[in-house]
Amino acid sequence: MMAAEAGSAKNTLAAYRSDLTLASDFLDRRLGAASVADLSRLGEHWLALSRSSVARKSAALRRFFAFLADEGLRADDPGSALPRPGTARALPKTLEHADVDRLFAAIATRLARDPLDPNDLRLAALVELLYGSGLRATELVSLPRNAIAPDRPYLILRGKGGRERLVPISDRARAAVAAWRDTLAQDRAWLFPSGKAHLSRVRLYQLMKALAAEAGIPPERVSPHVLRHAFATHLLEGGADLRALQSMLGHADIATTEIYTHVDSARLVELVNTRHPLSDAQRMPRVDGTKGEA
């Protein structure tokens, strides 16, 4: 149902499968027949987990029991017994413009080597697309060989949930992709091949961590998703329209995109506190000529 009707992505299906399997193991393989008391006990077992993990697990199980009830496989739906911790939406991690400049400087140093390593061309193409187009990691590594055309400044992408969207591709990114693609054999199906398949998400993460270390940035601060966040944050800082940003990122709900307005607001507050003339809390002159608190 999740695959055929809801159109869930592979990663979502894998997460649901994992959560359902772990819950079933805890309940001695009796998940389908679990009672309200069983699910209350399961909720207590989750107490040591983060709120976000509990929320995700509860959502997966509630959908499972709703499915059983809809299909007539159960007469009741015990899902209401599962915890609803709520999730405090954290501000996404992002990078300053200077950090991004350092990443690209490290890439430029690599590309200046003689002889040139084709893997450095691949790295340049990956980072240009992550930061320049805001692609998700899975979307990026699974691009077909000819998905990006030299004469077309966009691509039509089928992303999360099977939703199609138009993704702008900068001149820089198209040039980087073209340089990398010239090194590929004609029979390769993927733009970023690896063995018989395409580059894995895990390997992409490793490449980003290694590049961060090379650029003098703590590796834990850089990941494919952080570069996607930087793409969105920096576009918004530059005056991008929120609806346009929602479309480019492929968010189903604009509330997801609105989190970047909080990032921008936090930056503005910081600017006021650190750059405003009154930020040093100087004493303001009183009417009598003395100074009072600012």
**Active-site residue, selected from the candidate residues 122, 136, 181, 234:** 136
- List 122, 165, 181, 228, catalytic entry: 228
Which entry of 122, 229, 234, 251 is annotated as an active-site residue?
251
Say which of 16, 62, 181, 260 is annotated catalytic: 260
160 tagged catalytic: yes
C-alpha 250/C-alpha 163 separation (Å) is 7
| Residue 260 among the catalytic residues | yes
51 counts as catalytic: no
**Candidates 160, 165, 198, 234; catalytic one:** 160
What does the buried/exposed string (b/e) look like for 173-187 if buried means 16 or more CB atoms within 10 Å of the residue's CB? bbebbebbbeeeeee
209 an active-site residue?
A: no
CA distance 257 to 134: 12
> To 10 degrees, the CA torsion angle through 236, 241, 242, 247?
-110
Before 219, cis peptide (omega within 30)? no
Angle of CA points 113, 211, 131, to nearest 5°: 105
**How many angstroms from the chain centroid is the CA of residue 136?**
6
- The answer to whether the CB of 82 falls within 8 A of the CB of 43 is yes
Active site residue 262: no
Supply the residues annotated as catalytic: 136, 160, 225, 228, 251, 260
